[in-house]
Amino acid sequence: MKTQVGGSRCTFLCISICLGEDYDLDDKTGLGRSFDGIGSLSGGGATSRLLVNYAEPYRSQILDYLFKVCFLHLEGYEWWLMKEAKKRNPNITLIGLPWAFPGWVGNGENWPYSFPDITASYVVSWIFGAKQYHDLDIDYVGIWNERSFNSKYIKLLRYTLDKSGLERVKIIASDNLWEPISSVVIADKELQDAVEILGVHYPGTNTVPEALKTGKKLWSSEDYSTFNDNVGGGCWARILNQNYVNGKMTATISWNLVSSYYEDLPFERDGLMTAKEPWSGNYVVESPIWITAHTTQFTEPGWTYLQTVGHFTHGGSYVALTDERGNLTIITETMTHDHSVCIRPPLPSYDVTDQNVTFHLKGTFASISELQVWHSRFDFKTNKTALFQNIKPIKVTEGSFSIELDVDEVYTFTTVRNGQRGSYPDPPPSAPFPKSYKDDFDVSGNPYFSEAPNFADQTGVFEYFTNQTDPGPHVSTLRQVVTQRPVTWVADADQTISVIGDYQWQDLMVSCDIYMESVHAGGVFIAVRVNKGGGVVRSTRGVFLWVYADGTYKVTNDLNGMTVLAEGMSGTRARVWYTLTLTVKGNYASADLDGYPLWKNAVLWEPRHGWAAIGTSSFELAQFDNFAIEALA
């Protein structure tokens, strides 16, 4: 970095290598839009699932990085996570956005709008439950993530909220594309009154004229979704500035908050930081965390953008915000194309070069004499990236200062003096999932978390259960509790499944006590080498051992149960506990029921590795106990 005070252009080295331009920052002609914050989504795939299993102090350290040290999040998933966020930032904004709905909302249809009064009542009940049971005030609610909206439903939701005394809860629509929601809002006065925010997903920093014509606040209500290496950090830096410069969007919300899910699930490491090893305590504060701090440590929701924001002549962008009480914060970014590509949409080519810029502070900012400086530089050649460094303040002389901007840099210049780069001692080193693992699901009293550590539900819900009817050995179990297929967002499996372990496991022995509750129709499985989850769970392959309440068993190579490796009679029935053991070595699989062989040496070829899993053959009640894994290779 080279700096020069006053209004003169570059000297010495800058004469030959730098391009100089002047930019005014002025509030005399009025201000721009109000800044609403930077946030993140937790959910849409159980993205924070493993976070709750971290031991202290590492769990609190991660939460501090997410909610205290750096920035405001707009949050929408687990009750525990929202409460932890509120502890660290009482002013945090909470948003609820349905990805799916309970099956009864659709009354047998995979559609939430056939009975809009039922859907609206469900959403309002959820908001009341947040307050009654968790003391959480939900501030905004969405319609249906990236799916069709229904104007009748939106109006009815607004009416139901108001009738229930929830006038303060505002509606975001439609968490999809700019159109058709923008045009429909313009044409429908009642809908216009019902909707507070136009929220769009992955806008590529651009808006459309109709959205601006609505006069509504515009948010990028889901964005980023990019691998969180330094290119991901560059993507985040570019869109945080340019979502406002290009699209007048006053909030940008990242999917997702924290990559706290098994890394081989879809969208690996797409969080702002990574915390996927509760068994080791390891976590990584990735570059997007510090890029976020460039804005959120020196502004607050309610600050206002200046109208004088824009693009640098030689590439990059700048924004400036004020609290209208004399404070000023300027954020610049000069991210090059290849070092700031987001996962979507495609990024058109553009050029950025080293340049010298001079800012002229005018209006109420003309008397500023010094600015604090925070700097990040992405170094893609020598891997000497430096993030969110507090460097020497810059003097402002006669209302002007100059700065030489290299490519792939982010700067904050601010009158705010309380910025900090919070840090903790390094966490423990990374380690694979334990090769020997057991869980008897025996939790005393009323467990704070309802899900067992390290199990990641892909379809269905597996929760701790106290079995009041059991005489002794199976009082505390894990129970699959969803009994009706939800109104789904993606093509979820017809079976329920929860995965656990190391995706690289090949040879493995898994055992588990199982209990079918559905007479005649019940069925459960244990599995190894499970190779898929998330939105592609329907095509999951692996080695699945099924037993059924009709007295049969089968071994399949897929979750759908279509590729049968072995089958026969098991004598199993509902409401009896059995112990299943499944062993896979190389190309052969065998299984025991209560210690007696069901079959030996079934031949299999694919997949070669994957997680362990438990699940049910349909949406039905079933229990699991004394789960154990021994990884053999």
Q: 3-state SS of 356-423?
A: EEEEEECHHHCCCCEEEEEEEECCCCCCCCEEEEEEEEEECECCEEEEEECCCEEEEEECCCCCCCCC
The residue to which tokens 């009025």 are assigned = 30
Q: Per residue in 129-152, pLDDT tens?
A: 999 999 999 999 999 999 999 999
User: Is 436-631 CATH 3.60.140.10?
Assistant: no
CA separation for the pair 427, 393 (Å, rounded): 32
How distant, in Å, are the alpha carbons of 449, 575, 624 from that of 572? 32, 9, 15
pLDDT at 448: 67
pLDDT at 75: 59
Annotated domain spans of the chain: 22-414, 436-631
Whether 407 contacts 352, CB under 8 Å: yes
Helix (H) or strand (E) holding 296: helix 287-296
Fold of 22-414: TIM Barrel (3.20.20)
How do beta strands 355-361 and 20-25 pair? parallel
Whether 270 contacts 41, CB under 8 Å: no
Q: Is 134 left (phi over 0), alpha (psi -120 to 50) or beta?
A: alpha
Report cis status (omega within 30 of 0) of the bond before 266: no
pLDDT at 446: 62
pLDDT lower than 70: segments of the chain:
1-19, 69-77, 445-448
3-state DSSP assignment of residue 121: helix
CA separation for the pair 516, 514 (Å, rounded): 7
Q: Per residue in 549-568, pLDDT tens?
A: 999 999 999 999 999 999 99
Q: Mention every residue, 6+ apart, whose C-beta is less than 8 A from residue 73.
A: 38, 39, 40, 66, 67, 85, 89, 92, 257
Q: Within 10 Å of residue 436's Cβ, how many Cβ atoms?
A: 8
pLDDT at 520: 85
CA separation for the pair 245, 311 (Å, rounded): 8
Query: Full-prediction pTM beyond 0.85?
Result: yes
Q: At what angle do helices 287-296 and 230-247 cross, to 10 degrees?
A: 30
pLDDT at 76: 38
pLDDT at 233: 98
Catalytic residue among 222, 277, 286, 451: 222
DSSP strands (E only) in 195-265: 197-201, 217-224, 251-255, 258-259
Catalytic residue among 146, 463, 517, 630: 146
Long-range contacts of 562-568 (CB under 8 A, 24+ apart): 565/589, 565/602, 565/603, 565/604, 566/598, 566/599, 566/602, 568/598, 568/599
pLDDT at 146: 97
pLDDT at 20: 76
222 given a catalytic annotation: yes
167 given a catalytic annotation: no
Which residues pair with residue 622 across a beta bridge? 480, 516
Which residues pair with residue 68 across a beta bridge? none
Whether 329 contacts 293, CB under 8 Å: no
